[in-house]
């Protein structure tokens, strides 16, 4: 057997393994789509994704309101009232903070950066009680402010670290050239650094988009009015354990809820992969 034939066989085997692993990873989502057309009894008795007797009750009931105060669409709108500003605020604050640590020297820089990195190891559950007390004194409870405003101050340390790593790989000569052309620090950041940070910024935006969309604990702690409930709370609220519930309806609502996230992810997939790869090797 020649070397070329061995390489061809090796390539075929790799692709077969990758396809099988891909099918295993994607199958739960495929099964979820099929389960939206199944009855409760069929969902619990069949692992095959294709429904034997398709029903459309799940989608017919998915948009019904809960107690006449909130429905699926309104809960999704409430979710993106948090998601969109939080993504924007995170990108702005994390970029400015990372740029400051990466490009400027000031007294206590290393200490402050070390303290910032230490917050990565601090569990959110430890902060819940003091944060709630603080926001309650400010009168922010039962509003979206506790969920959005902290992102203005680069509270998501992971994104600062990610952008800082990427900034280390950007040549300083570009900024020196911009300075010679008369740009100040803000202009250099906007016209030189931000365009080069685009892949990493897309990655940060996608992470924040998905994490905030799926956040259950935050809205559960701070939101008490039913009409302000986010999608994650609404999905849990629609499950009535006392009288039982339709699993096809729950799965249909879950599928509809993740469609925006899927669209956003696939629309920016190339930049996302590029940003993850670049952020992992820079510096």
Strand partners, 66: 70
Give the per-residue pLDDT at 240.
Answer: 64
Closest listed residue to residue 265, CA positions, set 198, 214, 199, 207: 207
Give Cα 270 distance to the centre of its chain: 16
Classify the C-alpha dihedral 167-169-172-177 as positive or negative.
negative
User: pLDDT tens, 162-210?
Assistant: 898 888 888 888 888 888 888 888 888 888 888 888 888 988 899 999 9
What pTM was estimated for this model as a whole?
Answer: 0.84
Give the per-residue pLDDT at 133.
Answer: 95
Closest listed residue to residue 276, CA positions, set 179, 221, 206: 206
Residue with tokens 């590029």: 274
User: pLDDT tens, 119-139?
Assistant: 888 888 888 999 999 999 999
Whether 249 has a pLDDT exceeding 70, the answer reads yes
Radius of gyration of the CA atoms of the chain, in A: 24
Straight-line distance from the first to the last Cα atom of the chain, in angstroms, rounded to the nearest whole number: 44
Phi, psi of 70 (to 5 degrees): -150, 145
Give CA–CA dist 204/193, Å, rounded: 15
Q: How many degrees, rounded to 5, is the angle at CA 58 between CA 57 and CA 63?
A: 105
Give the per-residue pLDDT at 271.
Answer: 67
Interhelix angle 247-267/198-213, nearest 10 degrees: 170
Give CA–CA dist 182/177, Å, rounded: 9
Cα 175 to Cα 23, 164, 219, distances in angstroms = 47, 16, 42
Residue 145 pLDDT grade (very low, low, confident, very high; cuts 50, 70, 90): very high
DSSP string, the chain: --HHHHHHHHHHHHHHHHHHHHHHHHHHHHHHHHHTTS-HHHHHH---SS-SS---HHHHHHT--BTTTB-HHHHHHHHHHHHHHHHHHHHHHHHHHHHHHHH---TTHHHHHHHHHHGGGS-HHHHHHHHHHHHHHTT-TTSSHHHHGGGGGT--HHHHHHHHHHHTTS-HHHHHHHHHTT--HHHHIIIIIHHHTHHHHHHHHHHHHHHHHT--HHHHHH---GGG--HHHHHHHT--TTT---HHHHHHHHHHHHHHHHHHHHHTHHHHHHHHHHHHH--
User: pLDDT tens, 30-73?
Assistant: 888 888 898 888 888 888 888 888 888 888 888 877 666 888 89
């Amino acid at each position: 057997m020649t070397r070329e034939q061995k390489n061809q066989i090796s390539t075929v085997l790799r692709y077969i393994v990758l396809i099988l692993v891909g099918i295993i990873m994607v199958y739960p989502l495929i099964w979820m789509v099929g389960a939206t057309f199944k009855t409760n009894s069929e969902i619990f008795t069949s692992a095959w994704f294709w429904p034997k007797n398709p029903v459309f009750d799940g989608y017919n009931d998915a948009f019904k309101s809960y107690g006449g105060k909130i429905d699926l669409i309104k809960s999704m709108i409430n979710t993106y009232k948090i998601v969109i500003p939080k993504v924007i605020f995170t990108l702005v604050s994390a970029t400015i903070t990372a740029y400051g640590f990466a490009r400027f020297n000031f007294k206590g820089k290393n200490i402050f950066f070390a303290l910032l990195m230490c917050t990565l190891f601090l569990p959110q559950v430890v902060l819940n009680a003091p944060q709630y007390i603080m926001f309650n004194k400010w009168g922010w409870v039962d509003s979206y402010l506790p969920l959005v405003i902290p992102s203005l101050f680069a509270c998501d340390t992971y994104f600062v670290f990610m952008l800082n790593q990427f900034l280390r790989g950007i040549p300083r000569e570009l900024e020196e050239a911009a300075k010679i052309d008369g740009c100040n620090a803000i202009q250099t950041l906007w016209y030189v650094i931000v365009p080069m940070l685009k892949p990493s910024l897309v990655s940060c935006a996608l992470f924040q988009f998905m994490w905030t969309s799926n956040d259950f604990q935050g809205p559960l702690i701070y939101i008490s009015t039913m009409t302000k409930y986010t999608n994650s709370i609404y999905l849990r609220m629609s499950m009535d354990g006392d009288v039982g519930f339709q699993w096809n309806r729950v799965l249909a609502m879950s599928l509809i809820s993740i469609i925006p996230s899927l669209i956003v992810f696939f629309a920016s997939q190339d930049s996302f992969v590029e940003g993850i790869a670049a952020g992992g090797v820079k510096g």
